[in-house]
Structure formats: C-alpha cells, structure tokens
Amino acid sequence: MPRLEIAADGFRLDDRPFRILSGGLHYFRVHPEQWADRLHKARLLGLNTVETYVPWNLHSPRRGEFRLDAGLDLPHFLELAAAEGLHVLLRPGPYICAEWEGGGLPSWLLTDQDIELRSRDPRFMTALDEYLGQLLAAVRPHLDSTVIAVQLENEYGAYGSDTEYLAESAALLRRHGVDVPLFTCDQPADLARGGLDGVLRTANFGSRVEAGLTELRRHQPEGPLMCSEFWIGWFDRWGGIHVTRDPEDAAADLDRLLAAGASVNIYMLHGGTNFGFTNGANDKGVYRPTATSYDYDALLDEAGDPTPKYEAFRRVIAKYAPVPDEETPAPGTKLAPVRVELTERAGLLDQAQLLGEAVTADRPRTMEELGQSFGFVLYETVLPAAGPVVLRVDQVRDRAQVFVDGQPVGVLERESHEQALAFTAPRPGARLAVLVENQGRVNYGPGIHDRKGLLGEVTLNGEPAAAWTSRPLPLDRLDDLEFSSAGEPAVGPAFHRGQVELEQPADGHLALDGWTKGHVWVNGFALGRYWSRGPQTTLYVPAPVLRAGRNDITVLELHASTTSWVELRDKQGLGPTED
C-alpha cells in the first residue's frame, strides 16, 4: 500500500523520492458519467495526482443528513481515480472557497444568528465533528491507497489566526481516521497566520514563482516545497469580462516551479460548471456574483476538451516526468446546431403555491429561517390604502423584483446598494409581492456569514406591514407546474418549455439570445443561471443529461425575452476578453 511521507528533503512514496504533479478536478462540477473521461485526460497530461475539494453544503443539505448519491458519490470518484493510476489530494473543508456557494459551508449553520463560522464556537465545531465523521467513514477505505494527503482547512490565514482552532480541526481529522499527512495552503502573505506547527505548509500563487517559494521556505526551512494552487486562469463574474491567461506565459511559470524542485497542483486542470444555483460570490464593498461557467481558462475547457494550454503544459511536464506516449485527446463530439421553440408557459407568481408552502409572520423570514439553501423566496403582503408607497428594506439579499397585483414596479439590487423603491398602490387591499433571488452566498472573507432574503426592518411608508407570507421557492423540482400553450406575452416571471428531438446525445451549449435573466433545466437537470449582462452567453449541456428522442428544455425568464426560442450550439460562448 503506497504511503506518502514528508521528509526533510521532500516527499517520499514507498520510500522513494516523489514529486506530486496534480491537477484540480472538482467532481461536483462535472457530470458523474464524465468523471472517467476527465481523469483519463489528467493521466495523459503526465499527472500522477488529482485534487478535489468536498462541498459540505451539498453532502449535508440539512443537519443530520449526509448524501453520497449520483454526482456526490465521492467514493466512486476515488475508485475511478485509482483505476486510472492517480493519487488524490482531498480537501474536505470545512471551508473550501472555490467560488462556490458559501465557500461550501451549509446554509443551515446560519440559523444561529450569532454563530461564528470557522472558529472554536462550540456550535460550529459540533457540526464539523458530525460532518467529518460521516465523510471520513465513507472515504476511509481509500486513505493511503488512493488519498495520499488531506488538507486542513483552506486558506485560513486570509480569514483568521486562531491556531487553536486549526489544532482542534486537525485533532478531529485524526480522530475520524485520517492517518495520511495533513497540509495547509495559503497565499504567501498569509503563511504565518494560516499554518500549524507539525502540519506541512504549502503556498498558492499563479506568478512570481521564485518569490512565492522563497516566502514558503522562510516559514518552513525544510521539507517539500509545494504550490497547492498554481493559478493558470481565473473565474468570471456577471457583468465582467471572460478572464484568460496566455498559455505560454502560464507554461513558463510552471517550468520555473518544476525547475525549482517543487510539487504542484494546477488550479484548474478542468474547472467545470456551477450547475443549478451553486455559484458563489465575492463582496469587497460591492457584491459580485460568480458566473455559471467555471471554465477558468483551464487545461480542459468546460466540455472537457483539451485547450492549447493543455499541450503547452504537457510539453513542460515531459521535461521533468514521464508522459504517456499517446496523442493529445481529440475534442468530443458536439450537437449539430438546432433551434428549439418554447411553446408552453407557466407563470411563476400564479403557480407559486405549487412550488413551496408559505409561512405567515409579522416580518419576512430569511431563507435560513425557512430551512432553504438555494433559489428564491416570494414575500407577500396587503397594501392597506391606495396611493403612493415607499418600500424600504434594510438589506436585500440579493435581488428583489417587486410586483403590485402581479404588475412589475421595480427591482432592488444588492449589487447596486439599493434599499428603497417608490410606486403607487392602485386600490386598497392591493397585493404586494417581492420575489427575492439568492444569487450566491459570499465565498471569501468575513462576508461568508451571508444570510438571504429580506433582512432587517422592512417598511411601507415608514410603517411595518401587518403580516407577511414568506414562501420558499427552491425550484428543486418542477413536476407540479401546469403548463399551457403560450398566448399573450408573459408579464412577470414565467417558465417557458419546449421539446427537441435528438438522434444521439452529445455535448452542446445552449444559447439564450434575446433572453434577459433566469435559469434553465434540461430534462429536469438544472444547467444554471443566464444573464444578458454577460460575459457568458451560453450554458454548457453535458451529453449525459440528454437522450435519444424527445428532450425537454425549461427556461425560467424573470423579466422578458425578445424571442420564443433558444438554440443548442456546438460552440461555447464565454464572452469578450480583455485586450
């Protein structure tokens, strides 16, 4: 059984010198039927290891529940890696950042108003203990044989400096059976705050290789040098540009890193997709939600096809390690372009009662209070009189569409720091509805305590409403919706559905030209969010979610569209890049 050891002069595996050549591959961002393909391409690159985070929030959607089904079958992912001859670096959190919703921390932790996440708060540590016990019971058979090292926390130095918290977390890992080496990772400036004596320190950077390694060696005078996140691209945010990095520039830095004798984890080998509602967000004074695509300008694009960066990195790796004597993998088969008419419609406000059960209270309830992680909340109340109304909200988390008797009257956006909206009530007893979207919990910094919905005081002309209903709309299943043939243009949010016949499933990209903002499902599989502000203009459609014969496409458009169709294409559209 191979065992990784940390020696004064570097890593050793089976008592032989060993260099970790790893690539980031998050199983939860890739359809499970495509795991084997991506792992095979990792080996053909010349890698001997892959790295993956573990998203606590998906595995434990509710306290006491632990899922390993379908796309969360981590033991199966580890088995496939072993079958490909790859080791695994496991990064179980509890916090993963990863531009992932809430940094992977489950939203139910936030039901305690004063909880301190990533701390020795007993409520947090008890929950962490439960999570690690469930997770490590499932992966324990793969420790040593496949999983050669486990990360302790994640970039903790950018968040805190409580070494006792790190020590208690390390003790939990050991108590639950982790007997392989532990490691921490931090950006060079945070190495002192984020490390723990007796645990291997590693550094994260994408350039200035010599400076990064020098700082790591300053904090760790002996032992292996490793860059645990060698950033070769970056993520995109809504309203920004598609970020890219020149392949030869990135490959030159990889060459410098390997020439120094360091081990590496390439972030990312394959980025994948923030399917459904799983994207995170950043808030450094302005809230910025991350896009659906996590292409990351990686070595394998969102559909798993090798990019020019893949070949450039393969040439560099071949200078330092054996690379399989096989050709670079060819791009996969793609769908032929086809336009799909969406001929059926179901109004969201009209059918909200089919999607979630309302709770009545004297104030709007947050998503966390409703036991909800993702999606929307529909808040409703009655306007007591006709005439001008000013709606004021302490905090909108994250985007609120406001309706009076079903007619849209405005939008409040967290991103724009908007808190007030004026409109006219047409009659006494008019119905006020506020549809609030969780656009992604903050995944970095102190903002991870990110509750969703209408927070704080909510008033109408300075007075609280007599009563509110709060209806959770997680949109995790749409089976109960009642569709009818599209007739008059939809006013307000509506589901649009159409069918397309396919001879054979293949990867594709769904274009929504002329649509404004919303979400897409294909055969019930949630592809993710779209938004006309870009940069992303298509959504990746994995071949396994399609079938030969009839396929259903459902689009929730929150505003309006200029067309009644969408298009399956053979090319992705990630938007403009910086000159």
- What strands, in cross-sheet order, belong to the sheet with 420-425? 420-425, 387-397, 453-460
Give the residue numbers annotated as catalytic, written as ranges: 155, 229
Note the pLDDT tens digit of each residue in 50-76: 999 999 999 999 999 999 999 999 999
Task: Say if residue 104's pLDDT is above 80.
Answer: yes
Q: pLDDT band at 446, cuts 50/70/90?
A: very high
Categorize the per-residue pLDDT at 2 as very low, low, confident or very high, splitting at 50, 70 and 90: confident
383: Cα separation from own chain's centroid: 38
Same fold, 20-276+285-317 and 356-473: no
Q: Is the pTM of this model over 0.85?
A: yes
Model confidence over 531-574: pLDDT tens digits? Answer: 999 999 999 999 999 999 999 999 999 999 999 999 999 999 99
Identify the CATH assignment for 356-473 out of 1.10.10.10, 3.40.1160.10, 3.40.50.10300, 2.60.120.260. Answer: 2.60.120.260
**20-276+285-317 CATH:** 3.20.20.80
Phi and psi of 252, rounded to 5°? Answer: -65, -40
pLDDT at 517: 98
Q: 10 Å Cβ neighbour count for 335? A: 21
Q: Return d(Cα 519, Cα 278) in angstroms, integer.
A: 12
164-207 pLDDT per residue, tens: 999 999 999 999 999 999 999 999 999 999 999 999 999 999 99
pLDDT tens sequence across 357-401 = 999 999 999 999 999 999 999 999 999 999 999 999 999 999 999
Nearest to 383 by CA among 429, 348, 426, 337: 429
Residue whose C-alpha is closest to residue 491's, from 564, 559, 565: 559
Q: Hey, how many other C-beta atoms are within 10 angstroms of the C-beta on 161?
A: 12
Architecture of the domain whose range is 338-346+478-569: Sandwich (2.60)
Confidence (pLDDT) at 579: 55
Rounded mean pLDDT of the chain? 97
Q: Map out the domains of the chain as residue ranges.
A: 20-276+285-317, 338-346+478-569, 356-473
